[in-house]
Amino acid sequence: MNAVIDLGNGDSLQLEPARRALRLYPGAGGAQAELTLNISKVHDLVPGIAYQVNARVYVEDNTNRQQQRMLCDLHATNLVTPIVRAGTVQLSGFVTDEQVRVVEQLRGGGDLWLNLRLTTSSVEWQADSIPADQYQAPAISDEELEGLRQDALRRDDALRATTKFLTEKFGPLPSSAKVTFERPLTKQRTGDLRFDINAGEWASQLVHVQAGAFVELLVPLTRGADYTDAVTALREARELLRQGRIEPAIVEARKAVEQVRVAYGTQKLFAAAKEKTPRQRTLDERWAFMVEDLFSTMSGAGHKDPVTQDFEYTREDGEMLIIATAGMLKRLSAASTSL
């Protein structure tokens, strides 16, 4: 995950995302985006060149990696003069609230994949030369000539300054000689950089700009492999949902709920509690109702009987059911460790 930009002089620039590269800050109607990149030269053959770095940012569609959406332009706030040892350059831009919502749809609950079209701009000196007999020395006074010489000396160009000084004072160089001079040229070079922002890291940035909220939930494995199959089913359900396969994801998550039903004996509790009013039900019975209702709701994705054949589940439905399943498994895990 790095970009190599050929400088055309035997050297190259290398750019890669810094650790925790992306930061979002609250803005009016959106968020300021700041991206930090590490930048260095491979050899630093021509030292002292300053670069302006810009990037056009694209976001990948996680369900179809061939599709990308343009997000925003980012621009470096300062010039950077890279050396062999890596430094950093910070790029800044703006994303709207609507763009944030589209990004959420594109990443589909997974990691956020960014593609940067990088552009580096620099002003570099181009050396040129012409035959001495074609060189027309400018009419210039001794005082002006001395000023030019002193200015060139201050820029560490003593040889060129001295040559020009001697030519002006004592006439043209031999016809076989050449007059060498430099002129500034603006150069642009491009490169591509693709990398991902971890889903949890992106979610924390959304919370920071008040564009969303998330609850981090880890479902641990306890007592050996007791619930390995259930956790595996939950992982598979998340991956299927990320691919946009909503009903298969719900069916897979239901496998995990089945283990919760068995572990808590919810069917028996549910049957006994149906005869009670909600106020009379014990806490275990109320949990049993939640598990059984969850299982029943998910069953509509796998069974197409006269009642469920017209059921349609949205992505948000799938997310809610999978998250609820994760909560049930975490509760079961905690209960099993205390037994």
* Strand, coil or helix: 185: strand
Which pLDDT tens digit goes with each residue over 249-271? 999 999 999 999 999 999 999 99
Which pLDDT tens digit goes with each residue over 34-89? 999 999 999 988 888 999 999 999 999 887 777 899 999 999 989 999 999 999 99
Which residue, among 259, 292, 262, 257, has the nearest Cα to 274 in the 3D structure? 292
Which pLDDT tens digit goes with each residue over 211-229? 666 566 677 665 545 577 8
- At 13 the pLDDT is 95
Q: Which residues pair with 196 in a beta bridge?
A: 113
Furthest-apart CA atoms within the chain: distance in Å: 117
User: Tokens 């001697």 identify what position?
Assistant: 166
> Residue 57 is encoded by which pair of tokens?
């940012």
Q: Report the Cα 33 to chain-centroid distance in Å.
A: 11
pTM of the model: 0.66
Helical packing angle, 283-299 and 266-273, nearest 10°: 110
- Write the DSSP symbol of residue 172: P
- At 224 the pLDDT is 47
